[in-house]
Each structure stands twice: as C-alpha cells, then as structure tokens.
Structure 1
Amino acid sequence: MNISVVIPLLNEQDSLSELHDWIAKVMQSNHFSYEIIFIDDGSTDNSWQIISQLASQNDDVKGIRFFKNFGKSQALHAGFEKAKGDVVITMDADLQDNPDEIPELYNMIKDDGFDLVSGWKKKRYDSVIAKNLPSKLFNWAARKTSGVKLNDFNCGLKAYRLNVVKNIDVNGEMHRYIPVLSKNAGFTKIGEKVVQHQARKYGETKFGMNRFVHGFLDLITIWFLSSFGKRPMHLFGALGFIMFTIGLGFSFYLGIDKLFLNPTGRLITQRPQFYIALSTMIIGTQFFVAGFLGEIILRTKQGKKRYSIKNELNFD
C-alpha cells in the first residue's frame, strides 16, 4: 500500500464527506493504493454515522471511535498503530488542509529520502491575535529548545515514513512536537514544504487559551524528556548535590563560628544561616530522592494505552 491518510477529528460532521471525496479523487488520479483512517475522538454530533456510511461505501475507508474525547495526540497514536501505508499522511478534518498536496509530500518521502516532511502554512487565514501570534511564539520556542529548524511545528499536514510513526510515542498534547519526537528517536532527515492553508468552511476552531498554556507546558516537558528522559538522575542529582553542598557549607560556617570565633554569641538556631542550611540540605535530599525515583520508574514502566476504543470499521 502506498499511502495511509490518518485524520483525527472532533465534531466535524459537515466536512467529512467532502474531505473523503477530495482525498479519493487525488488518490485515484495519481494511481495510489491507499487507506483513509478516520479517528473519531469522542464526537457528540453525527461524525461517526457519516464515517460508518463512508466505510460501507468504500473499503479503503477505516474508522476508529473513542469512548470519549481523549485528545488529538491519542487519536494520532491510534491511527499510527493501524496504518499500513509506506507513507503516512496526517491532516485535519476541517478542510483547512489541502489534499492536493499529498502527491508532492509522498514524493518527498519516497524519492527525496526524507523521514518526515512538515507542512508550512506560510499564508494563514486564522485570526492574527487568536492563533497566528501564539503559533509564531510556539514555533520560535520549539526551534530554540529542540534544534529542529521548522517554521510551522503545529501544521496538521505532515508526511512520514512508516517506520517513523511506528517508533514514536505521541501522548498528552505532543502532536505539536512530533518532529522533535522523531528527531529524538533517530529520524533526523526532516524537511518542510510550503502548503496551501484554506479558510475554515464549517464549524468552529478548537483552539483556545487552554491549548496555548498546555502547549508551552508540553514544550517544557519535551525539553526535559529530550535532555534527561533517559537519565533523570543527571538533572535531579546535580541539583541535589548543589543544594546539599550549599547547606553543608553554611553548616560548617556556623559550626566553626560558634566553636572558635564567637563561642559566646547567639545560639545557632537564632541565626538565619541555620535555616538556610537546613532548608537547602532538605531540598537537596529531596532532589536526590526524586532522581532515584525517576530512575526506578524508568526501569520498571510498562506501556499502557491512554485511550479506549469503542468501535472500529474495516480493519482486518
């Protein structure tokens, strides 16, 4: 199979039939063998009924339905697990991603040898304040912390070699940073393609301030995991050593001062340096414990799905 198109969605009943017809037309005109995997992330409208109808009419359409809304990252993870195409294309279901871009994305993976190609919506139709400025800030911060030089990390239209999606773990809200996850997994040939962005035709945007905040928290998380995910003791142990050393230094100072320099002065417990020493030594010990716990968890953790599937369509 040439291409798997993975489409996570939430309440996009109005766009699904049009999107399916558009993708099918592109695939047939380019003689691609394909599958379209719709992942219904807990929609409360008629999205699943439309997916079921499409699947009954076209065996190349497959559907996954979650019991509830688990998030876009979990939907992508479920789609990646089922994908079988040599090249995996992801796109949003709101018709803002253009299926006509698929052939060139496919060629960049198959012919140019990229592991991942990310779309770049250079000209956008979103609100400048609501989405454009936050996206620019996200992209700048992601470039600085990850070293991956992309202009648009958050573009839903991406192409992957199959072994890339099988070897990355997308969870939380990490779908924004899949190129970083891919780089951390050893897939370093990452390209970018300017793609056409289309104004939203149906429904309302799912972007809000909570996603803005969550995105930055996830960026901090992915920085930590990239730098210390396999060696948490290196971070927490270093911080613990610094804090404990500071506390120990103050303790020695207080002891020497009380025994030899000023034996008749104030009690040690009446001096602020005592509480600084006590606090820093306790914090340093806690950092050490956190490092040990991190190492233990890392060595004993087992994979566990972060979503539950209610229905599946057309999967063997």
Structure 2
Amino acid sequence: MNISVVIPLLNEQESLRELHDWIARVMQSNRFSYEILFIDDGSTDGSWETICALAEENEAVKGIRFFRNYGKSQALHAGFRMTRGEVVITMDADLQDNPEEIPGLYNLITAQQYDLVSGWKKKRYDDILTKNIPSKLFNWAARKTSGLKLHDFNCGLKAYRKEVIKNIEVYGEMHRYIPVLAKNAGFTRIEEKIVQHQSRKYGKTKFGMERFIHGFLDLITIWFLSRFGKRPMHLFGALGVVMFLIGFLSAGYIGIDKLYKLYHHQPTILVTQNPWFFIALVTMIIGSQLFLAGFLGEIILRTKTNNDRYKISDILNVDVRKEEQKEGQDNIKNSIPG
C-alpha cells in the first residue's frame, strides 16, 4: 500500500464527508493505493456515525473510536499502530489542511528519501492575536531548544516513512514535537514544505490559548527527556554531588575556623550561630535528595512497563491481530544487525 492517511478528530461531523471525498479524488487521480484512518477522539456530535457510513461506501476507510476524549497525541499513537502504508500522512479533519498537498509530500518521502516532511503554513488564516503571534513565539522557542530549523512545528499536515512512526512514542501532548521525537530516535532526514492553509469552514477550533502554555511546558519536558531521559543520574547525580560538596566544604570551613580560634585563644560563637552552619546543612540535604532522585529515576527507568494511555471503544475495517503481528515482525527485523 502506498499511503496511509491518519486523521484524528473531535466533533468534526460536518467536514468528514467533504474531506473524505476530497482525499479519495486526489488518491484516485494519482493512482495511489491508500487507506484513510479516522480516529474519533471521543466525539459527541455524530462523527462516528458518519465514519461508519463512509466505511460502508469505501473499503479504504477505517476507524478507531475512543471511549472518551484522550487527546490528539493518543489518537495519533493509536492510528500509527494500525497503519499499513509505506508513507503515512497526518492531517486535521477541519478542512484547513489541503489534501492536494498529499502527492507532493509523498514524492518528497519516496523520491528524495526524507524520513519526515513537515508542512509549513506560511500564509495563515487564523486570528493574529490569539494564534499567529503566539504560534511564532512557540516555534521560535522550539527551534532554539531542539536545533531543528522548522518554521511550523505544530502543523498537522506531515508525511513520514513507515519506519519513523513505528519507532517513536507519541504521548501526553507531544504531537507538537513529533519531528523532535523522530530526530531523537535517529531519523535525521527531516525537511519542511510550504503548504496551503485554508480558513475553517465548519464549527470552531477545539484549541484555546491554554494550548500554548501546555506547549511550552511540553517543550521543557521534551528538552529534558532528550538529554537526560535515558540517564537521569547524569543530571540529578551531578547536581547532588556538587551541592553535597558545597555543604561538606562549608562544614569543613566551620570546623577549621573553630579550631583556629580555640588554638589562638580567640573568642568563639556557637556553631549554630554561624551562618555557614545553615549553608552546609541545607546544601548537604539538598545534595543528598538530588542524588537519591537520580538513583530512583534510574531504577524506575529500568523497571517501567508501557501501559495503554487510552481505551478503544470500536474499530472499523482493521484486523488488530494482523497489525500487531506485523508490527512485531518489523520490530524483530529492526533489531537484527544489518
């Protein structure tokens, strides 16, 4: 199969049929073999019924339905697990992403051999104060932190080689940083393509200003995890040792100063009246706690088990056992030295 289109959605009933018909026209005109995988992230407006109707009309349509709203990252994670295409395209369901971009993205992956191609909505049709300006600040911070020279990290329109999405974990709210996750996993051939952005035709956006606050917090998280996620002792242990040494040296200074004054018969004060006593005490306690935090982090990292972060209610046209077996075979192949 050439292409898998993964579309997470929440209450987008009005746009689904139009989006499906548009994607199908593009695929048929380019003679692509394809599948369209809709992930219903707990919709309450009849989106799932529309997906069921589309699946009856077109066997290429598949669906996953969550019991409740778990978030876009979890929806993408579930979709990535079920895809079968050699190239995976993600896009939003609100018709702001243009399906006509799919052939260009596909060619960049197959002909140019990129691992990931991220869309760049250079000309946007969003509110300047609530979306455009915060988005520019967010993308600037993401570029500085990650080292990736992308203009639009949060664009939903992206293309991936199958190996990329099968080897990254999208969790929490990390869908904004899939290019960073891919880079950290060793997929470095990442490119950007200017794509057409369209104004929302139906309904209203599901994201408010809080998404930028969450985005910056997630940016700090992914920076930390990319540097110390596999070796927390390197950060907490190092800080703990430094703090403990400061406390130990401060305590040594107190002792030497006390002995010096006693030897020269100079007046002395109680140790607890010396401000260095409290500096030594606090820094040694903090140092010990940081060291223990790093030690516990190493233990947790080595004993953790991966649990599902969402519950699926219904599945359409997807053979779960077949996909899981194929995924397991791919993992075995990837683990065999080349």
Stretches of structure 2 lacking an aligned partner (at least 5 in a row): 320-338
Q: Which residue of 2 aligns with 1:307?
A: 310
Q: Partners in 2 of 1:271 and 1:16 — Cα distance? A: 72
- How far the C-alpha of 1:105 sits from its partner, in A, is 0.3
- Once the two structures are superposed, what CA deviation does each residue of 1:75-105 show, in whole Å capped at 9, x if it has no partner? 0000000000000000000000000000010
- Relative to the length of structure 2, the TM-score reads 0.92
TM-score (norm 1): 0.98
Which secondary structure state, in structure 2, belongs to the residue aligned with residue 92 of structure 1?
coil
> Does the alignment pair 1:292 with 2:295?
yes
Q: Give 1:222-261 correspondences, 5 Å limit.
A: 222-261=222-261
Distance 2:61 2:292 in 1: 50
1:152 corresponds to which letter in structure 2?
D
Q: Structure 2: how far apart are the matches of 1:264 and 1:57?
A: 95
Which amino acid in the other structure matches residue 271 of structure 2?
I
Instruction: Give the Å deviation of 1:297.
Output: 1.0
In structure 2, distance between residues paired with 1:273 and 1:16:
68
Q: 1:268 aligns with which of 265, 268, 271?
A: 271
Taking the aligned partners of 1:259 and 1:69, their CA distance within structure 2 comes to 67
Q: Which amino acid aligns with 1:45?
A: D
3-state DSSP class of the match of 1:37?
strand
Contact 2:261 2:267 (C-alpha < 8 Å) held by counterparts: no
How far does residue 264 in structure 1 lie from its aligned partner after superposition? 3.5
Offset from partner CA, 1:13-61 (integer Å, 9 cap, x none): 1110100000001000100000000000011111111111111111100
Structure 1 counterpart of 2:188: 188
User: Which residue of 2 is the match for residue 52 of structure 1?
Assistant: 52
Q: CA deviation at 1:111?
A: 0.5
CA displacement at 1:242 relative to structure 2: 1.2
User: How far 1:302 moved relative to its partner?
Assistant: 1.5
Give the deviation of 1:153 after TM superposition.
Answer: 0.4
Match of 2:331 in 1: none
Give the aligned partner of residue 202 of structure 1: 202
CA distance in structure 2 between the partners assigned to 1:106 and 1:196 by the alignment: 16
CA shift, 1:261, in A, is: 2.5
Note the 1:202-221 alignment, pairs <5 A. Answer: 202-221=202-221
Contact 1:15 1:94 in 2 (8 A): yes
The answer on whether the counterparts of 1:131 and 1:207 sit within 8 Å (CA) in structure 2 is no
> 1:1-316 residue pairs with structure 2 within 5 A?
1-261=1-261, 264-316=267-319
Task: Please tell me the residue identity of whatever aligns with 1:249.
Answer: L
Which amino acid in 1 is paired with 2:168?
A: I
One-letter code aligned to 1:250: S
TM-aligned CA deviation for residue 120 of structure 1: 0.2
SS at match of 1:204: coil
Could you tell me which amino acid in structure 1 is paired with residue 189 of structure 2?
A: K
Amino acid at match of 1:224: F
Secondary structure of 1:311's partner? strand
Check conservation: 1:254, 1:274, Cα contact below 8 A.
Answer: yes
| CA-CA distance at 1:214 after TM superposition | 0.8
Task: Give unpaired runs (5+ residues) of structure 1.
Answer: none
Comparing 85-94 with 293-302, greater Cα deviation is found at 293-302
**Distance in 1 between residues matched to 2:122 and 2:49, nearest whole Å:** 35
- The percent identity for this pair of structures is 74
Distance in 1 between residues matched to 2:295 and 2:209, nearest whole Å: 36
One-letter amino acid matched to 1:67 = F
